[in-house]
């Protein structure tokens, strides 16, 4: 069976409703060979918010992302997993052009947000980043008050027309981030004085204060303790009602808990994409299985 | 685990321990020595300056009963009146039995020639004192001052003494009468430079330094910060910017006298700015300080964590907003520290200012940026060159003033750094 046919047939296979997956697991299907780096699985969805086609990223000579094509569906949580240095963060940063800030970074291919090619020459990154928010690995609140942290985005984008409107946005964002009850009596205190988990939720509040449509999260829980992680995960599940979320994580349980689809990256290749439940129960690719069973990573 | 192996390791470790500890002790001792040595040198330096200079803050004064004689003071022509004669009359009245021209001359030499100016100022500001007698403390001549302070010996043959035996007798009489004593030397802080040590002060030099540094600060801080921000945040990384960077680093190492020559050629000869003025001094020092400020500012911009930049960009701040709202406030303490250190360096700079004529003998306190001026270090240089004994202590006193100014600037730098430094 040629590679192409394999991919096609597997793709067809993944269209099988989820309840059937269990039976496939028992069949112990043969995995795709480790050397084959063609993407397998459910790359494309019916109503995508973002579509990425043949994306390549180079850091100078280094080919960091190799020919990745994937859709990001509306109101879904897409988890990106993979061993360290596999390019998942790099790919995430392509989605709101944060890679622009890195000297020597070059992106080819096409990434569309709805119908807009975000890498087109005359695209302004400022509105793009307002639309595609980002939460970083390490909580990075500004060394300002909690209120100013959240209010900064709406202020620079002119989202609030009055002081009270701004205060409403701040309160709403903090509520959605599940932080309001903890900080409403000390909004004027520095955001850097909060605990790690609170800081990360403050960063999430800051990101959603500019009303983005898509939120990118780059290992948002890697610096947090389990309880703070659980809070943030609950928050992600809740945010899914209104936002499309792409999350990079090292924690496979986390990916399984919060995401609907999971993408597995390996050394710059997007190896496999699929429904989260299937990826973790019956991966189609040998590399994916190796990773989720802990053979490396 | 093999117990033999373990014990032999322990034994080896124990054997090597004394040697390791000895090494550590030697290293600590060496460091201590270095510290002690530097402290010693510093103490010797500051100690000698203080011991030599503190007496300059006092000045011997003589109390004269001055009669503002209406005969000598023509109300219509006060500017040309002979005020020196008033002083001489007063001296004469104190020692009425002094006969002969040369003796009188000797007597009059005990009081400073500046005393006449004091009287003139008094009469000009309030002419109604004409006709009255006032008891005034007027500065004694610097030779008297030196003798009273013990800087010149009195038990040497008259021929090698600056004061004659007769003058010594008069001085002793004055001391006994309570008419001669050391008082706070206000003139040192009130006056500009003078050929007479007892009249010379640092006011002109302090004012000149202040104006010069103001010009330097006003120009070098904004230009330096702008250059640093552009180079660090906006400039593309290519050969051209690398070249600029290398040259900025080189500029910081160029001997300052060369900047003086440049200032002479460009600001004085080409642009025709006034010679010896604070504005030219400030411009030359700006050239010198700029590299320091640029380098310090770039370093503090680099030290702003990238996470803060990403946070700002991530919520859609433009590059300018990221820099103005987040990066600059965080980098500012470092920039201020660098600037103040640069300013302190500029305050102590002498060589380039010699080239643009700030080494001239300037009596008047400068009133504007275009006035001829001198600065503290140049004043120190000038006084150190003067032959009068009294200028030795004034040189040290001026050094103390300069050091105090430097100390204040550095303290400000530390304060600003602690005040504005934010944690992230």
pLDDT, tens digit, 9 for 90 and up, residues A256-292 = 999 999 999 988 899 899 999 998 888 888 888 888 8
Residue range A186-234, pLDDT digits in tens: 999 998 889 888 999 999 999 989 989 899 999 888 878 888 888 889 8
C-beta of residue B62 within 8 angstroms of C-beta of residue B111? yes
| CATH 1.10.3720.10 residue spans of chain B | 203-420
**Angle at the Cα of B85 (from B84 to B90), degrees rounded to 5?**
100
Contact A153 B311 (CB under 8 A): no
CA–CA gap between residue B195 and residue B282 (Å, rounded):
27
Q: Is the pLDDT of residue A17 over 80?
A: no
Whole-angstrom distance, CA of residue B376 vs CA of residue B310:
47
The shortest C-alpha distance from A262 to chain B (Å) reads: 24
Is A130 close to B313, i.e. CB distance below 8 A? no
Q: Which residue in the set A101, A129, A138 is minimally distant from B315, CB to CB?
A: A129
CA atoms B109, B115, B117, B120: torsion sign: negative
Question: What does the pLDDT read at residue B267?
Answer: 93
With bands split at pLDDT 50, 70 and 90, how would you rate the model's confidence at B2? low
* Residue B138 clears pLDDT 80, i.e. is over it: yes
Tokens coding A262: 């999971």
What confidence category does residue B244 fall into, taking pLDDT thresholds of 50, 70 and 90?
Answer: very high
Residues of chain A in contact with residue B242, where contact means CB-CB under 8 angstroms, are: none
pLDDT band at residue B29 under the 50/70/90 scheme: very high
Query: Quick one: average pLDDT of A247-252?
Result: 89
Does the structural domain B203-420 have CATH classification 1.10.150.120?
no
Query: Dihedral (C-alpha) B390, B391, B393, B397: value to the nearest 10 degrees?
Result: 140
Give per-residue pLDDT as tens, A18-75.
Answer: 444 444 444 456 778 777 777 888 888 888 889 999 999 999 888 988 889 999 988 8
Give the Cα separation of A118 and A100 in Å (integer): 12
For the stretch B82-106, pLDDT in tens is 888 888 888 888 888 888 888 888 8
Mean pLDDT of B10-26: 92
Query: pLDDT-based confidence at A115, cuts 50/70/90?
Result: confident
Residues across chain A = 297
pLDDT (0 to 100) of residue B41 = 97
- Could A129 and B422 be called an inter-chain contact, meaning their C-beta atoms sit closer than 8 Å? no
Rounded to the nearest 5°, which phi and psi values hold at A70?
-160, 150
Asked if B311 lies within 8 A of A142 by C-beta distance, the reply is yes
Report the pLDDT value the prediction gives residue B328, as an integer from 0 to 100.
92
What residues contact B192, with CB distance under 8 A and at least 6 apart?
B200, B201, B203, B204, B205, B362, B363, B364, B365
CA dist., res. A278 & res. B342, Å (int): 65
A contacts of B313 (beta carbons < 8 Å): 98, 101, 129
Q: Could you give the domains of chain A?
A: 3-292 (3.40.50.300)
Q: Which two tokens stand for residue B382?
A: 């000038």
List the single best residue of A99, A118, A138, A140 to mutate versus B (max B Cβ within 10 A). Answer: A140
- Taking the Cβ of residue B236 and every Cβ of chain A, the question of whether any pair is shorter than 8 Å is answered with no
Q: For residue A151, give the chain B residue with the closest CA.
A: B315
ipTM (interface predicted TM):
0.80
Which positions ≥6 away from A7 have C-beta within 8 Å? A38, A39, A40
pLDDT at A196: 86
B319 near A CB under 8 A:
no
């Amino acid at each position: 069976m040629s590679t192409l046919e394999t991919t096609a047939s597997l793709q067809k296979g993944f269209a099988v409703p989820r309840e059937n997956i269990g039976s496939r697991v028992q069949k112990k299907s043969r995995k795709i060979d480790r050397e084959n780096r063609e993407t397998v699985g459910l790359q494309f969805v019916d109503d995508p918010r973002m579509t990425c086609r043949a994306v390549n990223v180079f850091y100078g000579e280094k080919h960091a992302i190799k020919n990745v094509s994937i859709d990001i569906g509306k109101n879904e949580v897409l988890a990106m997993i993979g061993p360290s240095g596999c390019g998942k963060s790099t790919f995430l940063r392509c989605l709101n052009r944060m890679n622009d800030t890195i000297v020597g970074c070059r992106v080819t291919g096409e990434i569309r947000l709805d119908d807009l090619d975000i890498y087109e020459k005359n695209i302004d990154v400022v509105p793009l980043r307002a639309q595609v928010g980002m939460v970083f690995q390490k909580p990075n609140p500004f060394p300002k008050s909690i209120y100013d942290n959240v209010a900064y985005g709406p202020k620079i984008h002119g989202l609030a027309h009055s002081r009270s409107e701004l205060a409403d946005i701040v309160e709403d964002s903090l509520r959605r981030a599940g932080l309001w009850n903890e900080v409403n009596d000390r909004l004027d205190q520095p955001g850097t004085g909060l605990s790690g988990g609170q800081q990360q939720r403050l960063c999430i509040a800051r990101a959603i204060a500019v009303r983005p449509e898509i939120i990118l999260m780059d290992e948002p829980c890697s610096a947090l303790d389990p309880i703070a992680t659980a809070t943030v995960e609950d928050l992600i599940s809740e945010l899914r009602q209104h936002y499309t979320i792409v999350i990079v994580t090292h924690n496979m349980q986390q990916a399984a808990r919060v995401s609907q689809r999971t993408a597995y990256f390996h050394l710059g290749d997007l190896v496999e994409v699929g429904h989260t439940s299937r990826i973790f129960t019956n991966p189609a690719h040998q590399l994916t299985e190796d990773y989720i069973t802990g053979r490396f990573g | 685990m093999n117990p033999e192996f373990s014990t032999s390791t322990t034994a080896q470790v124990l054997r090597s321990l004394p040697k390791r500890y000895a090494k550590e002790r030697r290293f600590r001792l060496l460091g201590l020595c270095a510290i002690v040595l530097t402290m010693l040198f510093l103490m010797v330096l500051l100690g000698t300056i203080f011991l030599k200079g503190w007496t300059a803050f006092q000045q011997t004064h003589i109390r004269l009963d001055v009669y503002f004689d209406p005969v000598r003071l023509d109300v219509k022509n006060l500017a040309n009146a002979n005020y020196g004669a008033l002083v001489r009359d007063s001296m004469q009245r104190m020692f009425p039995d002094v006969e002969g021209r040369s003796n009188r001359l000797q007597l009059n030499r005990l009081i400073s020639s500046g005393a006449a100016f004091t009287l003139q100022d008094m009469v000009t500001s309030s002419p109604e004192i004409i006709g009255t007698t006032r008891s005034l403390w007027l500065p004694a001549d610097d030779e008297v001052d030196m003798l009273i302070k013990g800087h010149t010996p009195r038990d040497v043959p008259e021929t090698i003494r600056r004061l004659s035996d007769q003058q010594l007798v008069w001085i002793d009489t004055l001391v006994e009468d309570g008419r001669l004593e050391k008082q706070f030397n206000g003139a040192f802080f009130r006056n500009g430079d003078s050929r007479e040590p007892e009249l010379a002060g640092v006011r002109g030099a302090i004012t000149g330094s202040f104006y010069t540094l103001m010009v330097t600060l006003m120009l070098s801080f904004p230009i330096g910060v702008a250059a640093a921000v552009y180079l660090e945040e906006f400039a593309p990384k290519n050969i051209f910017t690398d070249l600029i960077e290398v040259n900025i680093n080189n500029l910081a190492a160029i001997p300052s006298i060369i900047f003086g020559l440049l200032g002479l050629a460009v600001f004085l000869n080409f642009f025709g700015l006034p010679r010896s003025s604070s504005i030219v001094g400030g411009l030359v020092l700006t050239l010198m300080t700029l590299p320091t400020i640029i380098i310090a500012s770039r370093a503090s911009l680099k030290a702003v964590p990238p996470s803060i930049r990403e946070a700002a960009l991530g919520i859609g701040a433009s590059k300018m907003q990221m820099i103005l709202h987040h990066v600059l406030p965080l980098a500012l303490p470092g920039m201020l520290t660098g600037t103040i250190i640069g300013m302190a360096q500029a305050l102590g700079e002498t060589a380039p200012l010699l080239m643009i004529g700030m080494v001239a003998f300037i009596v008047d306190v400068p009133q504007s940026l275009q006035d001829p001026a001198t600065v503290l270090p140049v004043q120190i240089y000038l006084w150190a060159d003067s032959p009068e004994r009294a200028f030795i202590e004034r040189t040290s006193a001026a050094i103390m003033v300069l050091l105090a100014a430097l100390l204040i600037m550095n303290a400000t730098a530390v304060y600003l750094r602690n005040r504005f430094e934010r944690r992230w």
